[in-house]
Amino acid sequence: MGINFCLQNCSADEMTAKLQEADDDSYDDVYESETHYVSAPHWSYSGFGGWRRDSASRVGIDLDDMVGFGGKIPFPEWNASEPSLIPLLNHSDCDGSLSPTEARSVAAAMRNLGMVASDDSQGGLFLQLLDEAVERQLHVGFC
C-alpha cells in the first residue's frame, strides 16, 4: 500500500494516450477507479514523507515543527501568485487534491528549487503530472 497521484476526471482513453506518449516505462501502472484513473508517480507513505520532508527543508521548513506534523508552528499563508510548496506541504498525504492553481504554484516552486534531478524519478513524474493538471485544468488527486 502506498500513495498514488492521479489526474481527476479524465477518461481512460485520454489517460492511456498520455501514458503511451511517455518515452520510458514509468507510466506502466494505470487502473480505473470510480472517479479517476491512477498512474505513476507512486510512493510508499514513508518514501513520500521523506521526499516531502526533503522538499520542505529546501525552503527552510522543518515539517516536525509544523501543525499537522506534530509541531505547533502554523504554515505560512499561501499567495497564489507566487511559486510555493505550501499547497503540497500543508496537505494530507492520503486524500484530497491540489487545484490547477495550486499545481501551477508547486510546479513553479519545484523548478525554481532545481528539485527535478535526473536521479529523482518520482519527483520528475510528479512534476509532469502537475504540468498536465495545469494544462488541462484538472485537479491532482491524492489517492
The count of domains in the chain is 1
User: The domain containing residue 84 runs over which residues?
Assistant: 3-142
Helices (H), the chain: 12-21, 45-58, 86-89, 100-112, 121-136
Residue 33 C-alpha cell reads as 477507479
Q: What is the mean pLDDT of the chain?
A: 75
3-state class (DSSP) for residue 11: coil
DSSP sequence for 36-48: EEEEEEEE-HHHH
Per the listing, cell 535526473 goes with 118
Q: What's the whole-model pTM score?
A: 0.74
Q: Is the pLDDT of residue 133 over 80?
A: yes
Q: 65 or 138: whose pLDDT is higher?
A: 65
All residues at 6 or more sequence positions from 62 whose CB lies less than 8 Å from its CB, including other chains:
56, 71
Tell me the per-residue pLDDT of 33-78, one tens digit each, with 9 for 90 and over.
334 444 456 678 888 888 889 989 988 999 999 999 999 999 988 8
3-state class (DSSP) for residue 5: strand
3-state class (DSSP) for residue 65: helix
The Cα 38–Cα 63 span in angstroms is 27
The Cα 65–Cα 52 span in angstroms is 14
List the single range of 16-20, 25-29, 59-63 with lowest mean pLDDT. Answer: 25-29
User: What pLDDT sits at residue 34?
Assistant: 38
All residues at 6 or more sequence positions from 12 whose CB lies less than 8 Å from its CB, including other chains:
32, 37
